[in-house]
Structure 1
């Protein structure tokens, strides 16, 4: 599912054989259409706080995708979580929202895989990571 089927990334995916449905996470009908007849779903949502995405939005998006995957008989759900997510709250909503989605997925009757990437490559170019100073900063609690 893509927001902009004309973007360079969307066109490259389409050219490599991916089938696309245009929609957003707020468009449940588009998500339903995207689930029809698929073997697997890779679920990655915008993280909170990001732009206009709230913590509640992120949790709602993740749970909706997982629920629809079950409803449409998807055989395998892969959820992209976060490296600091665990059994106990971190106090950082960015990770605790993902933990809530993970817990929900584990209750569902679907084969699932949860991955916890440390970060996405594209994030490294954001302000504060230091690449503009020929350095790279990555902060984790000690």
Structure 2
């Protein structure tokens, strides 16, 4: 039976993927840095391999006996190095396929550090020769959690996004696509496979491109109280990120992302989720209803 290694298993998409695979009775191995957090997030009956992406011995242990690898890691200065190390370890272990979590807008040379890193990792993945699929999700609906406290306490959604339209995607839908791509038979049209291998890139969005004003209106309707979007200048957003403890490179990256979102980089919905899962992506209202307690409902 297929066994899947999930890296980034305690992250948002990774933890949903572990759950989705287990719901299908697929054996899962989770690669985690902290066993305690792994058990807390995933349960005490999930097989864990403890190590970081720079630990070659741990990576070799993690790859032993697996058929597929889900590749995801936190944004950071060594992200490209770490993800390329996973790709190399998977190739050495003759893993049958890799599904990499990337981002919509990934491109070498992008002014946004995140996108440039993903572009470089994608290039390494294609050169590896390992059958692979790349998932490029738009802005995650879970990013709304960053403004949840202000929604609860003041009925305000703060953001540096103006009237940008964004086809926000639920990370649960991204995980469902990852599961489908990892488990599809070799050569299946629309996913990476061992036979007739073609590079596959799946662009994943929500069903509609919405503004943050419309997101606030959805929150107000679902919560039954006033919620208003307040646009803030980039400089104020950067200062708030720094005050919250974000490193300078991360705060600057977010400001760059906000500008790219205002320019429309995530404004076009696709059928990527439906194409691989057979069902439409979740809309904003469903996401909010499913997380009412977070927003003070």
Band the TM-score falls in, shorter-chain normalisation: 0.7 to 0.9
The answer for the alignment partner of 1:132 in structure 2 is 149
The match for 2:71 among 32, 43, 51 is: 43
- C-alpha change, 1:110 and 1:60, in structure 2 (3 Å) is same
> Alpha-carbon deviation of 1:31?
1.1
Q: TM-score, normalised by structure 2?
A: 0.40
The match for 1:102 among 122, 126, 129 is: 122
User: Could you tell which deviates more after superposition, 93-102 or 132-141?
Assistant: 132-141
d(CA) in 2 for partners of 1:27 and 1:124?
34
The answer for the alignment partner of 1:67 in structure 2 is 88
Q: Deviations over 1:63-94 (max 9, x none)?
A: 111111110011010110112214x6321111
Residue 29 in structure 1 maps to residue 63 in structure 2 = no
RMSD: 2.0
The match for 1:5 among 29, 32, 35 is: 35
2:137 aligns to what SS in structure 1? coil
> Alpha-carbon deviation of 1:38?
0.2
The match for 1:19 among 31, 38, 47 is: 47
Q: Deviations over 1:104-142 (max 9, x none)?
A: 10112111010012244554323xxx3333226463141
Q: TM-score, normalised by structure 1?
A: 0.79
- C-alpha change, 1:124 and 1:81, in structure 2 (3 Å) is same
Aligned pairs, number: 127
Residue 89 in structure 1 maps to residue 109 in structure 2 = yes
Q: Give the 4+ runs in structure 1 shifted more than 6 A.
A: none
d(CA) in 1 for partners of 2:58 and 2:104?
29
Maintained 8 Å contact 2:54/2:85: no
Gaps of 5+ in 1: 49-53
